[in-house]
Structure 1
């Protein structure tokens, strides 16, 4: 029995209503998935580029078809160490020619670079190598260290399979952004290529902070200090390590602010206006006299003092809290 035109229209409408579509397109496109993905860079070892050299399966359907597609020969590979660059449109056209309907469900990046022979190191692998390289070098920087914000090449081609990729730091590692160099070394030990990159190091450390506002000229008492965990990458200068002294405050420090070494100065052993002993030590004579300090000074520093007997002023070196020496 023949189906009338009206009945055909009703059936088609019913199919559409339940989400079915009648199309003569390949199964890959009907499902609306990318079943394969082209890598943006690839190194091809044979004389011919095969689909499996540049693509990977993404879905169960893609993996099911992979055996018949992966070894599909396509076009001649570049000469050893040479590269070919394909635009998205150009490669899409070539894939349609060599893999047919599978091209419609293949995700292609905006640009693809293929090298003949050698090897390629992708950015994910570069990141892993950077972390492995830095780990033993940064352990002493702080209590906890993380590596982030990688700014690396998207890939590095090595012209020959026996070439190696080395890493070196541009300077000693420090909190914050650090520069790296990637060195491509050939089998005869020559450096054939240099590339750069950077990474950011978060370095967490427990550091001294002010438990109350610290004012200029005040002695630093340990009761005034608390300790907080800070990221050294965001601290502007060298932090006081809690040692040395005794100290006084050179520049004010607000409550909960980090105590930098530059905010401290040695607590004066002698203060301006104090009366102390001036000691003169010659080869044959040793004299002492009372003098008044005209300046603050720490042990070992030289200050001006005034002789209380004749008001003359001389320069003398501070030996201890009660004595200055002149020769």
Structure 2
């Protein structure tokens, strides 16, 4: 047994001695390969600055102003996405110097040994823009007025809109929103608000004035009218006028004044207003009148006594002779008043 053991032990020694040189060779080869890999990985990226560059967005990235050359794609991507600062306003430019780039790389934790800047700079960076012209804005406002004003096309005239400013906006999907002032009467000078958006975000707003003429017949005094004077067809005339130049409560139909009376003196050629006329009283205080209450299914009449003077269409207080209660009624004619039922 022991002899066999000794034989085995002795035969193993040459085997170990033969392996050692091979391991040494393999180790040296692996060391050389790793050294070459390390040398390749340590090769600095080259940042080749352009003389000019153009950007669309709000920020400037290194990859937009320089060509990045590196065998390491991950390293190149990191360098390309280093933010150098805010872009200028649309249509404007600025200069970026080499020192600024070095400072931003340091701020982002990039080792100076990992890159080499090939040029001295500076780089002129231009912010691209999309122009919305004054002509486009004028056309949009005019189209908005035509679509939303409460006047027919034959009544309304839009004077030429005097707006001459072009606007440079960021690149993207452009939209324009136009709004009219609250409670506008769409007459005369009206300022419209124009909001410009890019990709749904508001980037600029402005005000665009427009002048709207609306032509319509109005009723004028054809002769001087005295206080309490009944108005006849010979006392008035119609004339087509710009509503922006007449009172808001101007009389626009003859039937609004015929049979009524002036409640003050009115000069000839004056535009008649609704507050200048009233109805002559056909019912006077103390008159006995028929009081009518009527629905689709029922009609009731009774007698009442007028408590004041009123013309046709005006409301008056009436004493119900049956119930002795005072009610409000509308004058139908000299003999009848009607209550809501």
TM-score normalised by structure 1 residue count: 0.52
Contact 1:316 1:324 survives alignment (8 Å): no
Residue of structure 1 in register with 2:201 after alignment: 190
Is 2:159 aligned against 1:147? yes
- Alpha-carbon distance in structure 2 between the residues aligned to 1:256 and 1:195: 41
2:240 to 229, 243, 259: 229
For residues 324 and 125 of structure 1, the distance between their equivalents in structure 2, rounded to whole angstroms, comes to 60
| Residue correspondences, number | 215
Quote the residue 1:72 is aligned against.
none
Query: 2:316 is matched with which residue: 284, 299, 302?
Result: 302
Which 10-residue stretch deviates more, 157-166 or 206-215? Answer: 157-166
Check whether the contact 1:280–1:287 (CA below 8 A) recurs between aligned residues: yes
Q: Does 1:266 align with 2:279?
A: yes
Which of residues 171, 174, 178 is equivalent to 1:167? 178
Q: CA 1:297/1:83 → structure 2, altered by over 3 Å: closer, same or farther? A: same
In the alignment, the residues of structure 1 paired with residue 240 and residue 292 of structure 2 have an alpha-carbon distance, to the nearest angstrom, of 51
Q: TM-score, normalised by structure 2?
A: 0.50
* 1:84 aligns to 2:92 (yes or no): yes
Larger Rg: 2
Structure 2 gap ranges (5+): 1-51, 55-85, 95-125, 294-299
What SS does the corresponding residue of 1:166 show, helix, strand or coil? strand
Post-superposition CA distance 1:55-82 (Å, at most 9, x none): xxxxxxxxxxxxxxxxxxxxxxx94754
Offset of residue 199 of structure 1: 1.4
Distance 1:323 1:222, change over 3 A: same
Unaligned residue ranges in structure 1 (runs of 5+): 1-45, 49-77, 87-114
SS at match of 1:127: helix
Q: CA RMSD in A?
A: 4.2
Give the Å deviation of 1:226.
1.0
Alpha-carbon distance in 2 for matches of 1:238, 1:141: 22
Give yes or no for contact 2:307–2:316 (8 Å, CA) kept in 1: no
TM-superposed CA distance for 1:276, in Å, is 3.8
Match of residue 268 from structure 2:
255
Counterpart of 1:202? 213
Change (3 A) 1:156 1:271: farther
Q: Does 1:180 align with 2:188?
A: no
Q: 1:257 to 1:141 in 2, by over 3 A?
A: farther
**1:19-48 per-position Cα deviation (integer Å, ceiling 9, x unaligned):** xxxxxxxxxxxxxxxxxxxxxxxxxxx947
